Amino acid sequence: MSIVKQQKWWGWGEEGISFSFADKPKFAPFVLDKLDVDITIPAPTVREFSTLDVPTSQLGDDLRQKFVDALGADYVVDDDEVRVVHAFGRGVRDLVRVRRGELGRVPDVVLYPADEEQVIAIVDAAVAANAVLIPYGGGSNIVGALEALPDETRTVVSVNLGRMNRVLEIDADSGLARIQAGVLGPDMEVQLNAQGWTMGHFPDSFMWSTLGGWIATRSSGMQSDKYGDIADITRGLRMVMTDQVLVLRPLPSSSSGPSVREIVLGSEGRLGIITEAWVNVHRTPQVRQIQAYFFPDYYSGLRAMEEISASDAAPTITRVSDANETEFSMANGKKSSTIGHLLNRAIQEVMTRKGWDLKKICVSFIGFEGSAVHVRYEKMLVGKIVSRNGGMGVGTGPGALYDQKKFDIPYIRDFLLDRGIPADVSETSTPWSGLRQMYDNTRAAAQRAFDEAGVKGFIMCHLSHSYHSGACQYFTFAINDSSEHNMESYDRVKQAIQQSFMDNGGTVSHHHGVGEEHSPWMDQDISPAGVFIQRTLFEGVDPGQNFNPGKVLHDGIPGVSSNSVQPE
Amino acid sequence: MSIVKQQKWWGWGEEGISFSFADKPKFAPFVLDKLDVDITIPAPTVREFSTLDVPTSQLGDDLRQKFVDALGADYVVDDDEVRVVHAFGRGVRDLVRVRRGELGRVPDVVLYPADEEQVIAIVDAAVAANAVLIPYGGGSNIVGALEALPDETRTVVSVNLGRMNRVLEIDADSGLARIQAGVLGPDMEVQLNAQGWTMGHFPDSFMWSTLGGWIATRSSGMQSDKYGDIADITRGLRMVMTDQVLVLRPLPSSSSGPSVREIVLGSEGRLGIITEAWVNVHRTPQVRQIQAYFFPDYYSGLRAMEEISASDAAPTITRVSDANETEFSMANGKKSSTIGHLLNRAIQEVMTRKGWDLKKICVSFIGFEGSAVHVRYEKMLVGKIVSRNGGMGVGTGPGALYDQKKFDIPYIRDFLLDRGIPADVSETSTPWSGLRQMYDNTRAAAQRAFDEAGVKGFIMCHLSHSYHSGACQYFTFAINDSSEHNMESYDRVKQAIQQSFMDNGGTVSHHHGVGEEHSPWMDQDISPAGVFIQRTLFEGVDPGQNFNPGKVLHDGIPGVSSNSVQPE
């Protein structure tokens, strides 16, 4: 029994939960068609944990004693499985390595502080001993932000904040809540909902990510169009640093110099350990609807989203999938009353009459919240824009289903990995004017990489978040490569996609953060002068490199070899 | 004839424009009542510029030659009046000092670069010569951000960006414009409007402030409720630093580490010179209306604004004046068809029937934009909330007038200063739950300071910007003190107000920035650890302290004495 809820050592989520295609008749044929893999063949079982060669903890007695004094012995854990769980995030590369027994620099100890005072004691002791501190939330990071540098010779301490999981207070007049950083998404929403509130932040990782993790990585959620990215939601916070605690009181807006709040956001553990935050919360809305629409092609869908962003309407979700992702969604539908079922005969007939090519159709989800009157009004505004761009509404059924199933994708990712199909995601934002170019060129770059790697691959995409000036496009790719060298194929594809982001005016990541995986493109994203500013910050604030060194930027970390993924 | 549009050396705005109360019969009685000053007595004339003792430029021949080589001799100016204009912003303290001939450390030269290449040449030459660079936009800063440190021994170079005043391109699909940093508000809007666009950023300083200045100080405008603060509007930028140029491409959102964009915002010249930015622009709306409402008291108005912020409505402006400011507005009304006229007999009768105390009534302006349907819908939502909180609508007349006159206040400030009444403003934001406490305690603190200083004083306030979690309150205060020591009285009041902001959960400034004037409260605003982070940034990025030293934070600047205004 782990101290806090803990993911499988070998995959996403809790033991006992996994993806099944038993009631999804179209899924296996879809995978066979796209990737030449027959997933009906039983997958090899994952190895026993006991077969792993886990390096011995190097935690010294003195430091251990200080941790025990601060937390109590029960919360200073050097159990092998717990240490291995904390050695990685849950990116596909992480899972491939851990399953192969390539454990890298496993943390020497995992600590579970109960409050900020204990975090201070941990930081004091660790920095005094020149140890390395890696804050750990839900463990779902997919860009390598949770792993120690491979050649780290100092003691590595993983600080699991999972016991700090309470909503501490709600300021009802202000719509603000003070919440501990270690709370997982569902636990937080349960506490808020019980008092009639929601934070409205629902990233794909929601089940296995925490408030502190969202802040540290500049997360976005599915309803960020309305509720804002975590950078908008977070109004104040506390962070334990060497010899001091940063205290930013909750403020709606401020002009007190370069924003320290926005410096902590995205700092990925390099400046300190976030212990709590004041965040915007909202009354749970009277009406909440997700409407589904179809477009004859992806470009039409993009155009509609662009027009919505410039209109008087302000939906909570704007999402449109390309043809590949639409096909995937249908293949992932259950036999009855599902998204697969969505395309019933009547709708198909309408589409055919309209002259649509059913292979190119794209599904879109648009969310509405507010009073019944407001939702009706917004739906009217959006409906006109959808029609003007050739789309058609098909009701709320598919949207409700999407809403229920939105957190299941990582289980499918693991299911495919079990069967020799590594799959991963990359997302970027660009101005509206660059969306189509980004889409076309990124797909082409991925296809070239598939070809060069000599593997069959698949890539699909959706627009996931809209802003006034642009949108995020979220790419999911998979390759048929179960070979020992499949991470080289993976690197080639991931590299091609990230480079395409840079070449087409996008950012290195819209909401997954930088970690280790995206760090090689930082020069291209924010320019060398931007990297210089960040490096100045990291090295100046943490001259001993005790706080999660090597994340966001590799520069200045002595002895660190190149990243796994590199620009050409 | 100055090279670019230039303010008076002794006051706000251009020569020849000034405030007159000739057609405002209630103004003189109002001032007499509130401040015991008879403004009908002619004011002493401002001294001749020639009577000032302007220190000689200390620009060396070598550095001058480098500037001339880069810009041409016409754009390297050491004329005394130009140098004095560039020695200060336009805060009341600045005007008092300059009129007294207390010129402080006047810049040795004013440079007018035409493009980024010339800015690079200036920076290269100045940093190589260990000179100090102070970027200058419209010159309207009121927190001391434009003046050199009093004991600065190095050459001081004021870089006036006024020739860099063009909208360079508009990305119509994305609603983005690339604009040079030195453009003044009106010139920018004219260029945008000509193509059907607006940036929607209208700070009080609009006539005499620039895009670069807004970014450097984290400005907000009157319609920020809709268009966002400048921090939201600015999506990308370029900044010239020592030996490098920061390039941030326009991105709707990003998770590439601590936000370098948000580090430049509010940097007040300490990191480099901003040359251009990509900003959100919007199609000029079909309908634009500012509705006026009255509330029986200020608290009712605050409650209504809070409810609006939590509602489905999203007005462009939310503003409510307290009773004092409402009285001021009426006293500032022209004889006919004005805001003074607003309270016509019919309305007064309605108010009296409602049992309102006419001395306590508060005027509110709420802005609406969009299609005609949208404006009608939003007005309906807002109208219900206003009614629920005891308020009443009085139409668009006063709002239209407010809209025309909104940039006139600084002329009134100068008019009063001419007559021995120093007046200034301080603004802060707090969560909604703290607004009333902030209002009451700040007024009480100001009154105590008036009493301690032994001067008659007046303070008024309005809520100026609303956010989900709180709002900005904007205080204007004036004292009857024409003595030689009136800046001591001023300091006492300003200090009391700023300290009240800190004691009541506010920020040091919502949108005027820190400069020199607010720097003493930074420890209290963002905590010592926050100051440590900012100091690390400034000292690390600009180790030679060549870029506008001493602004935002005084720490680490050798030889600099205390600020003029100090916390107790």
CA A263 – CA A550 distance, rounded (Å): 17
* One-letter amino acid of B538: F
**Own/partner pairs for B436-441, CB < 8 Å, 24+ apart?**
B436/B299, B436/B302, B437/B504, B437/B505, B438/B473, B438/B500, B438/B501, B438/B504, B438/B505, B438/B506, B439/B298, B439/B302, B439/B322, B439/B473, B441/B500, B441/B503, B441/B504
Closest C-alpha to A257, from B66, B161, B554, B359: B554
| Interface test mutation site (partner B, options A253, A265, A438, max chain B beta carbons within 10 A) | A253
Kindly state the helix (H) or strand (E) to which residue A525 belongs, with its residue range: helix A522-541
Number of residues assigned to chain B: 568
pLDDT digits (tens, 9 = 90+) for A296-351: 999 999 999 999 999 999 999 999 999 999 999 989 887 655 455 566 778 888 99
Pairing state between β B244-248 and B234-241: antiparallel
Give the pLDDT score at A348.
87
CB A317 within 8 A of CB A471: no
Q: Does A404 have pLDDT greater than 90?
A: no
CA A493 – CA B339 distance, rounded (Å): 66
CA A254 – CA A331 distance, rounded (Å): 49
Q: Does A553 have pLDDT greater than 70?
A: yes
Residues of B in contact with A309 (CB under 8 A): 175
Q: Does A560 have pLDDT greater than 60?
A: no
Q: Shortest Cα distance from A362 to chain B (angstroms)?
A: 22
Tokens representing A108? 């020497």
CA A223 – CA A318 distance, rounded (Å): 8
CA A40 – CA A45 distance, rounded (Å): 14
Which residue's entry shows tokens 């206003």? B386
Kindly state the helix (H) or strand (E) to which residue A235 belongs, with its residue range: strand A234-241
Q: Does A565 have pLDDT greater than 90?
A: no
Tokens representing A430? 């660009």
CA A357 – CA A92 distance, rounded (Å): 34
Which residue's entry shows tokens 């038993």? A22
Q: Does A556 have pLDDT greater than 60?
A: no
pLDDT digits (tens, 9 = 90+) for B71-92: 999 999 999 999 999 999 999 9
Q: Which residues partner with B462 through β-bridges?
A: B321, B474
Q: Is residue A146 classed as helix, strand or coil in its secondary structure?
A: coil
Q: Say how many C-beta atoms besides its own lie within 10 A of residue B35's C-beta.
A: 22
Tokens representing B360? 């306590």
Cβ within 8 Å, pair A509-B255: yes
Residues of A in contact with B218 (CB under 8 A): 254-255, 259
Asked if ipTM goes beyond 0.90, one says: yes
CB A131 within 8 A of CB A157: yes
Burial degree of B51 (CB within 10 A; 0-12, 13-18, 19+) = exposed
Pairing state between β A176-180 and A167-171: antiparallel
Banded model confidence at residue A554, pLDDT cuts 50, 70, 90:
confident
User: Across the A/B interface, how many CB contacts are shorter than 8 Å?
Assistant: 303
Which residue is catalytic, options B112, B227, B439, B474?
B474
Give the pLDDT score at A566.
57
Q: Shortest Cα distance from B325 to chain A (angstroms)?
A: 23
Q: Shortest Cα distance from A505 to chain B (angstroms)?
A: 7
| Alpha carbon distances (Å) from B365 to A98, B292, B391, B400 | 61, 5, 12, 10
CB A92 within 8 A of CB A98: no
Phi, psi values for residue B158, rounded to 5°: -95, 125
Tokens representing A428? 């970027």
Phi, psi values for residue A188, rounded to 5°: -70, -50
| Interface test mutation site (partner B, options A469, A531, A534, A554, max chain B beta carbons within 10 A) | A469
CB A268 within 8 A of CB A515: yes
Closest C-alpha to A209, from A189, A239, A235: A189
Positive or negative: CA dihedral B540, B541, B546, B547: negative
Give the pLDDT score at B439.
98
- Chain A touched by B469 (CB under 8 Å): yes
| Interface test mutation site (partner B, options A218, A237, A254, max chain B beta carbons within 10 A) | A254
Q: Does A405 have pLDDT greater than 50?
A: yes
CA A365 – CA A367 distance, rounded (Å): 7
Q: Say how many C-beta atoms besides its own lie within 10 A of residue B339's C-beta.
A: 21
Identify which of B173, B525, B537 has the shortest CB distance to residue A258: B537
CA B267 – CA B542 distance, rounded (Å): 12
CA A259 – CA B160 distance, rounded (Å): 25
pLDDT digits (tens, 9 = 90+) for A268-303: 999 999 999 999 999 999 999 999 999 999 999 999
Give the pLDDT score at A555.
61
pLDDT digits (tens, 9 = 90+) for A431-454: 999 999 999 999 999 999 999 999
Phi, psi values for residue B416, rounded to 5°: -70, -40
Q: Say how many C-beta atoms besides its own lie within 10 A of residue A411's C-beta.
A: 16
Which residue's entry shows tokens 């869908």? A301
pLDDT digits (tens, 9 = 90+) for A36-82: 999 999 998 889 999 999 999 999 999 999 999 999 999 999 999 99
| Interface test mutation site (partner A, options B235, B389, B469, max chain A beta carbons within 10 A) | B469
Cβ within 8 Å, pair B514-A256: yes
| Alpha carbon distances (Å) from B277 to A137, B175, B203 | 36, 13, 18
Give the pLDDT score at B358.
92
Closest C-alpha to A208, from A412, A418, A8: A8
Give the pLDDT score at B339.
52
Per residue, what are the HEC states of B175-193?
A: CEEEEECCCEHHHHHHHHH
Which residue ranges in chain B fall short of pLDDT 50?
Answer: 338, 556-563
Give the pLDDT score at A406.
76
- Find, in chain A, the residue whose alpha carbon is nearest to that of B269: A257
* One-letter amino acid of A414: D
Q: What ranges in B359-477 are assigned the alpha helix state H?
A: 372-388, 397-405, 409-418, 435-453
- For chain A, what is the largest distance between any 2 Cα atoms, rounded to a whole number of angstroms? 77
Tokens representing B184? 């003044």
Touching A: B residues 397-436, CB under 8 Å: 429-434
Cβ within 8 Å, pair A258-B265: yes
Touching B: A residues 369-388, CB under 8 Å: 370-371, 374, 377
| Alpha carbon distances (Å) from B40 to B12, B20, B30, B285, B416 | 21, 11, 12, 43, 11
Cβ within 8 Å, pair A505-B249: yes
Banded model confidence at residue A408, pLDDT cuts 50, 70, 90:
confident
Cβ-proximal residues to A48 (8 Å cutoff; 6+ apart), any chain: none
**Own/partner pairs for B164-169, CB < 8 Å, 24+ apart?**
B164/B113, B164/B114, B164/B115, B164/B116, B164/B275, B164/B276, B165/B4, B166/B191, B167/B191, B167/B192, B168/B276
Q: Is residue B110 classed as helix, strand or coil in its secondary structure?
A: strand
Cα of A418 vs its chain's centroid, Å:
21
Helix (H), strand (E) counts: chain A: 20, 18
User: Picking from A435-439, A494-498, A562-566, which range would have the lowest pLDDT averaged per residue?
Assistant: A562-566
| Alpha carbon distances (Å) from A77 to A109, A160, A353 | 6, 10, 65
- Find, in chain A, the residue whose alpha carbon is nearest to that of B431: A174
Average pLDDT over residues A24-44: 95
- Chain B touched by A274 (CB under 8 Å): no
Residues of B in contact with A283 (CB under 8 A): 310
Give the pLDDT score at A561.
40
Residues B264, B180, B466, CA angle at the centre, nearest 5°? 55
Q: Shortest Cα distance from B329 to chain A (angstroms)?
A: 27
- Chain B touched by A259 (CB under 8 Å): yes
Which residue's entry shows tokens 């139409």? B395
Tokens representing A560? 């660190």
Per residue, what are the HEC states of A11-60?
A: CCCCCCCCCCCCCCCCHHHHHHHHHCCCCCCCCCCCCCHHHCCCCCCCCC
Pairing state between β B244-248 and B317-321: unpaired
CA A321 – CA A300 distance, rounded (Å): 11
Tokens representing B432? 């909604």
DSSP assignment, residue B46?
P
Give the pLDDT score at B560.
39
Q: Does A562 have pLDDT greater than 50?
A: no
CB A493 within 8 A of CB A127: no
